[in-house]
Amino acid sequence: MSSVVLLLSCRDKVGIVAGVSGWIASIGGNIIDAQQHTDAEDGVFFQRVSFTPPSGVNLDDLEQQFAVIAGQFGLDYQFCSLPHRPRTAILVSKHLHCLSDLLSRAHLGDLSIDVQLVISNHSDAEGISSMYGKPFVHLPVGTSDGERAEQEQQLASLLSSSSLELVILARYMLVLPQSVVAPWSAKMINIHHSFLPSFVGANPYRQAHDRGVKLIGATAHYVSENLDEGPIIAQDVVRVTHRDNVKELNRRGRDLETVVLANAVRAHVEHRILVMGNRTVVFE
């Protein structure tokens, strides 16, 4: 690892910044970047500090050495290494723009993910997966409840057996049950083609068109047990007018979705996110 990221949160109190920076100096570390935020309403302090560690020190060593400071201030914390290239699975259905963008960024080194496999309930993504040399798994969904349950079990088993660190839903258009979602808390990112909390569920661009909105958006969020209600990581919008039909809204939305999803994944792999209940603190 070339650097270490320390993410922490606690009840706000005097001396946290001095205590953390003093500890890093005491072990021979050198701070590269430090960002902090205090939620005034809840009285919670958040901080992200990246630093170069002394030679020969690993994350377990840092965990043990930091325990005294953590206990003093009541810190919830984690140490992470950089660069970080998590083993990743991408789930997709028939809309391939987000998948294509992620594979391209990963191939060019613009996005630090190690894509292990692409999983889909349709066969459409097989060609582009092969083009980038990524294993493709087709898990079709039958028409009966039993066949759907079997597919979900196959998916859960595949994810759990692949030594993954991150799962990305790149327009995977099936609702995942709690049995699939639960093991991936804050490790499963979804792109929703709407500016949540507006227009949840299917066909948000049709909903937006029928409502006559002047902005459409996209939202990337961690997946939770409640549909489209997990902690939001990244969002963006683009202006539209009455001249834009549903087809045009979809086209402009696709462009937006790729950027928003990539930004969210990048924030995750760079350890810039702290989850607070159903909210996030995302450092620059």
Question: Could you say which DSSP state residue 123 is in?
Answer: S
The CA-atom distances, in angstroms, between 243 and each of 139, 210, 248 are 39, 13, 9
Catalytic residue among 145, 228, 236, 255: 228
Helices 204-211 and 246-269: crossing angle in degrees, nearest 10, is 120
Q: What are phi and psi of 116, to 5 degrees?
A: -90, -35
Q: How far apart are CA 76 and CA 71, in angstroms?
A: 9
Residues with Cβ < 8 Å from 148, sequence gap 6 or more? Answer: 141, 142
Residues with Cβ < 8 Å from 258, sequence gap 6 or more? Answer: 97, 98, 101
Q: How far apart are CA 94 and CA 248, in angstroms?
A: 18
Task: Give the residues across from 35 on adjacent strands.
Answer: 48
Q: Is 228 a catalytic residue?
A: yes
Give the residue numbers marked as catalytic. 228
